[in-house]
Structure 1
Amino acid sequence: MLLGGLLGGALDLLYAFGFAASRGVAPTRLLQTIASGLQGQAAYEGGTASAALGLFSHFAMSLAWAAGFALLASRVGWLRQRPAFAGPLYGIVVFLAMRCVVLPLSAYPHPVGFPPLSTSLDLLSHMFLFGLPIALLVARALRR
C-alpha cells in the first residue's frame, strides 16, 4: 500500500507537472494549486511553504486512496485477483470522487469544470498512472 500510494502519487504528479508545463504553469504554482484545497486563494501568496503543503497533501491523499484500495481488496477477492482491471476502475472512482466531492467541499477557489481535453487526459492519468500501480502493488502484497 505504501509503495503503491507513493508510486501512484509520483506518477500522477509527474503527469500533472508535464500537463501544467505545456500550458506555461510552473511546478511551484501547480503545487500551490493543490494546497489551495486547504488554504483557498491564500495558497498563491504562500510561496514555497504553500508549495510544500501542496506536495505533502498530494502524497497524503495518494496514500489515503491506496489504503482505501488495500482495504477493499482485502475484502473483495476479484480486486486483488484482477488488478489490471481493478486498478483503472479504481482510478475512475478516484477521479470522480476528487472532481465531484473532494474539490467542491474543499477551499479550492476555482470552479470545478470538465473541459474535454484536460478531463480526458486527467481521467487516463488516474486510471493508468495512479489506480493501476496501486492495484498491482497492493494485489502483489496481499497475495504474499
Structure 2
Amino acid sequence: MNSKLIVKAGLIAGALDIIAAFLNFYFKTGKNPTIVLKYIASAIFGKEAMTGGIEMIFTGLLLHFIIAFIFTLFFSLIYKKLWSWFQNTTLIAVLYGFFVWLVMNLAIVPLSRALEIPFSWSGAITNCIILITCIGLPLSYLFRKNNKAI
C-alpha cells in the first residue's frame, strides 16, 4: 500500500469535494458556505452545530477530511480488483462516485445526528455528479497513474 499516494489522493479528493460543495451551496442559496461545514459537524453534534462558531466550522472540516481519507483508503484496497473487472478509469470513477453517494446518503447521514435535508432528484443528481467528479475521477486517475503495471 502506497501511503504517500493515499495521503495525496485523500487531500486532493477532499479539497475538490469541499470546494464543489461550497460552490454548489453558495450558488443555490447565496449564503455563507461555512454553513456546509457546520452541517457536517451536525453529524456529531446535531442541530446545536448550526449555531456554533469557529469550533464547529473546524470540526466539520476535520470530519469531512476524515471521511474523504476513509473513502480513499477503501478505494486503494479495492482498486486492483476494480481495474481487473472494468479496465476503464472513467467507468471506475463513475461507479465509485455513485458508491460514495449511496454510502453517504443511505448509511452515514441517516445514522448520524445531521439535520434531515428533504430529498430532491435535482439535488441527488448534482451531489452524485460532484462525488463522481471530485472523488471518483481523481482517485481513479491517480491510482491508475501509479499502477500502470497492472
Asked if Structure 1 and Structure 2 have the same fold, meaning a TM-score greater than 0.5 normalized by the shorter chain, the answer is yes
Deviations 1:89-128 (A, max 9, x none): 1000000110111000011122x44312221111111112
What is the match of residue 84 of structure 2? 78
Q: Cα RMSD between the aligned structures?
A: 1.8
Structure 2 letter corresponding to 1:15: A
What is the match of residue 137 of structure 1? 142
What is the match of residue 3 of structure 2? none
Which of 68, 71, 79 does residue 62 from structure 1 map onto? 68
What is the match of residue 11 of structure 2? 6
- Segments of 4+ in structure 1 off by > 4 A? none
Structure 1 letter corresponding to 2:12: L
Matched, 1:93 2:99: yes
Q: Distance in 1 between matches of 2:143 and 2:7?
A: 9
Q: Secondary structure of 2:119's partner?
A: coil
User: TM-score, normalised on structure 2?
Assistant: 0.86
Q: Is the 8 A contact 1:73 1:80 kept in 2?
A: no
Change (3 A) 1:80 1:141: farther
Matched, 1:38 2:44: yes
How many residues are treated as equivalent by the alignment? Answer: 143
TM superposition shift of 1:88:
1.4
Which of 106, 120, 124 does residue 112 from structure 2 map onto? 106
Name stretches of at least 5 consecutive residues in structure 2 with no aligned partner. Answer: 1-5
Change (3 A) 1:95 1:119: same
User: TM-score, normalised on structure 1?
Assistant: 0.90
Over the matched positions of the two proteins, sequence identity in percent amounts to: 28
Q: Distance in 1 between matches of 2:141 and 2:40?
A: 26
Q: Is the 8 A contact 1:28 1:48 kept in 2?
A: no
Matched, 1:16 2:29: no
Q: Distance in 1 between matches of 2:103 and 2:80?
A: 21
What is the match of residue 117 of structure 1? 122
Name stretches of at least 5 consecutive residues in structure 1 with no aligned partner. Answer: none
